[in-house]
Amino acid sequence: MDFRGKTALITGASRGIGKAIAFSLAQKNICTLLLVARDTKQLRKVAMDLEQLGTEVSVLPLDLAHPRQVHASLVKALRHHPPIDLLVNCAGIAHQRQFIESRLQQVEAELMINLLGMYTVTRLVARQMVRRKQGHIVNVSSLMGKVAAPSMATYSATKYAIIGFSQALRAELAPHNVKVTNLMPSLTQTDMVKDMRRFYGVQATRPEQVAQALMSGVQRGHHDILVGWQSHAAVWCDRFAPQLMAQIIRWTHPQLPSRSRPAAPYSALPTAGSVPKMVSITGPSKY
């Protein structure tokens, strides 16, 4: 893809992988960038640095955890912005915790931001791309969307979902000349993982390496882009020797400190007083 004269919208562009992708695109002479994240100050700082490279940059502070507001704000923003040629759905969050100790609020946040937020942005931009009969959508999944990891059950589920979503979208949008690419980084040194316990032996990459892998993958027309040899080895092993992969995961996954008492997972739900009583519809139980 020749990025000259093109416009890209990047979510999660204030930090980490999204920010690195924004800089790679600027270095490839993209004309205009629209950057999305929550932190306005940080977005403005990134925008100022990108403008030094000659790119026109607008920032759009949005919280993807609120899809209806995202929809309304994005509709307005797209009216006053050049049409989007490239959408990079990069915003995401992850909570590392044993599933049985997971908290509903965190699970909801992962589902809302990683999936519903991405869905909302994609739907609006894809419609515009279909009307123009051109465009490219990059969805940032993860290696954990191919090989799921203990202590990351909900996160892995969202990243598997992104791969399925991308595959379906690719087939749907191909007749309209809109391409869909799935980027699957492995462990990358960003804020997301700084407090996480890591898998033993996994080499961390830098966000710039992920951005570089995206650029060369897109250039070569790859649909699914893995980053680093360890990711290729893990996917290969999971496919052809799944029992060995399961064993490797058991050996390498980090032990998380267990709580003495599991956290109440549904603490955000109504209290016991407002929960309806269970009604038997089969008559009194024999037991």
Ligand X SMILES: NC(=O)c1ccc[n+]([C@@H]2O[C@H](COP(=O)([O-])OP(=O)(O)OC[C@H]3O[C@@H](n4cnc5c(N)ncnc54)[C@H](OP(=O)(O)O)[C@@H]3O)[C@@H](O)[C@H]2O)c1
Are the beta carbons of 163 and 183 closer than 8 angstroms? no
Residue 165 CA to residue 227 CA, distance in Å, equals: 20
How many residues make contact with ligand X (CB under 6 A)? 30
Query: 1, 53, 77, 93: which one contacts ligand X (CB under 6 A)?
Result: 93
Query: 27, 29, 31, 42: which one contacts ligand X (CB under 6 A)?
Result: 42
Taking the complex as a whole, how short is the minimal distance between the CB of residue 155 and ligand X, in angstroms? Answer: 7
Query: 28, 29, 44, 63: which one contacts ligand X (CB under 6 A)?
Result: 63
| Per CB under 6 A, 106 contacts ligand X | no
E-assigned strands of the chain?
7-11, 32-37, 56-61, 86-89, 135-140, 178-184, 224-226
Residue 110 CA to residue 104 CA, distance in Å, equals: 10
Helix (H, G, I), strand (E, B) or coil at 88: strand
DSSP 8-state class, residue 62: -
Instruction: Considering the candidates 155, 200, 266, 287, report the single residue annotated as catalytic.
Output: 155
Residue 240 CA to residue 278 CA, distance in Å, equals: 47
For 79, other C-beta atoms within 10 Å of its C-beta total 7
Query: 3, 7, 8, 18: which one contacts ligand X (CB under 6 A)?
Result: 18
| Per CB under 6 A, 187 contacts ligand X | yes
Query: 6, 7, 15, 110: which one contacts ligand X (CB under 6 A)?
Result: 15
C-beta of 213 vs 245, nearer to ligand X: 213
Query: 7, 12, 34, 149: which one contacts ligand X (CB under 6 A)?
Result: 12
Residue 224 CA to residue 228 CA, distance in Å, equals: 13
Taking the complex as a whole, how short is the minimal distance between the CB of residue 215 and ligand X, in angstroms? Answer: 16
| Per CB under 6 A, 81 contacts ligand X | no
| Per CB under 6 A, 71 contacts ligand X | no
| Torsion angle of the four alpha carbons 179, 185, 189, 190, in this order, in degrees rounded to the nearest 10 | 50
In the complex, the residues that contact ligand X under the rule CB under 6 A are 12-18, 37-39, 42, 62-65, 90-94, 113, 140, 142, 185, 187-188, 190-193
Catalytic center residues: 155
